[in-house]
Amino acid sequence: MTQQEVFDLAYKALSGITDDWNAAYYEDLSGELKLQWIEQPIFQAQAYSAYTLGGTPSHAIGISYNLLWQLYLDIKHYFEYLESGKDDKAFKYWWGEEKHIDSLLTLTTREQAIQNIYMAAVTWVYFHELGHLSQEHGVIRNGNSSRCNSTLVECDIQNSKEMNGETSIVWHVTEIAADYFATSTCVAELIRHFNTKNDLLLATNYLMTGLAVVLHRFNGQNLFEEQSIPSGTHPKPFVRLELMIPVIFEMLSEPDSDDRKKLVIASGRAANTVSLYWIRAHTEFGGIPDNYFIQGMLSRPGVIPYMKHIVRKWDEIIPQIISLKRFGESWQELKFSQNFRETLKNS
Ligand SMILES: [Zn+2]
């Protein structure tokens, strides 16, 4: 695909989603959601809100052309890596005979599969920004006020070095809440669009692969650094990935069912083949670094104390979120199960 075709694909899909959300929610509230394209050569997505107490929602989602092109190239190069067979032995050892590349191509051509993963990735980024807007995270971050203009920016490196304490915890938990909104909304869209189990499993495979590519791109060339107290603006991308993968399979299957088993295997395969690709293509680690692969969230070093801060802060701000929220469903709101809370308490 040419660069223009890659942009057009995203433009068509995201403009359609923006029109749908305007028709379903914003118009009733006399508000507006705009979609904006960022031309500066940076990997960027952002959410803009002009909030006034009792006013109408005035929102915009901005996505850079650079982000679109970069994600498309990442997915295309990932396919070339899978096709090269470089790590086939390792894949076979971990996941048996069925190759991830074959599972992605069961019902479609190579080009179509790349486009589907690209669209899943871009849509997830879009819904992440919409999650920030739906729950007015800018108002929460700036302290509850009657008037607040905010632009929430992903990948804000400069900021990330200086922030810590309770401020940082608020930023992290609202990032996780936006991830939850994005992931649950993407899964709901899949359920709406696909009638057969095979189609749904394939589409879920695209989503899990696309999500892994986005979060590896956010992680860049970094090793995993343990973080037991939130600092900076954003959670570690691998922690975000580990938190969101279970959201996908918990929405789509019952505990201990065959479907759950299939989805758990497929998600591990999607995420870890992307990790292996990333190590080969973008790093010079000279081997597999510690804690690079997804491994079940709570076994990652530092995550238990980290999540205690996140759950505490979420419980503290959820009443505010609910009072600020003007649209969106309760299933799109971040939640932690009783089991999960017990595990944290006893750890
Ligand atoms: Zn965000």
Give per-residue pLDDT as tens, 206-223. 999 999 999 999 998 888
Helix ranges, 137-286 (H): 137-141, 157-160, 165-193, 197-219, 237-252, 258-282
Q: Token pair of 68, please?
A: 């679109």
Residues forming beta bridges with residue 308, ordered by sequence position: none
Place of tokens 């104390």: 305
- Taking the centre of ligand 1 as the mean of its atom positions, its distance from the CA of residue 159, in whole angstroms, is 13
Q: What is the pLDDT of residue 269?
A: 93
- Taking the centre of ligand 1 as the mean of its atom positions, its distance from the CA of residue 187, in whole angstroms, is 19
Rg (CA), the chain: 20
Measure CA of the first residue to CA of the last residue in the chain; give whole Å. 50
Q: Which helix (H) or strand (E) holds 91?
A: helix 88-95
Residues forming beta bridges with residue 152, ordered by sequence position: 47
Q: What is the pLDDT of residue 144?
A: 67
pLDDT digit string, tens, across residues 224-271: 888 999 999 999 999 999 999 999 999 999 999 999 999 999 999 999
Q: How far apart are CA 62 and CA 127, in angstroms?
A: 12
pLDDT less than 50: residues of the chain: 158
- Taking the centre of ligand 1 as the mean of its atom positions, its distance from the CA of residue 176, in whole angstroms, is 8
Q: What is the pLDDT of residue 237?
A: 94
Of residues 121, 198, 148, the one with CA closest to residue 47: 148
Q: What is the pLDDT of residue 188?
A: 96
- Taking the centre of ligand 1 as the mean of its atom positions, its distance from the CA of residue 46, in whole angstroms, is 7
Q: What is the pLDDT of residue 287?
A: 83
- Taking the centre of ligand 1 as the mean of its atom positions, its distance from the CA of residue 81, in whole angstroms, is 29
What does the chain come to in residues? 347
Q: What is the pLDDT of residue 161?
A: 64
Dihedral sign computed on CA atoms, order 61, 66, 72, 75: negative
Secondary structure class of 97 (helix, strand, coil) = coil
Please tell me the pTM assigned to this model.
0.96
Q: What is the pLDDT of residue 299?
A: 85
- Taking the centre of ligand 1 as the mean of its atom positions, its distance from the CA of residue 86, in whole angstroms, is 35
- Taking the centre of ligand 1 as the mean of its atom positions, its distance from the CA of residue 111, in whole angstroms, is 30
- Taking the centre of ligand 1 as the mean of its atom positions, its distance from the CA of residue 178, in whole angstroms, is 6
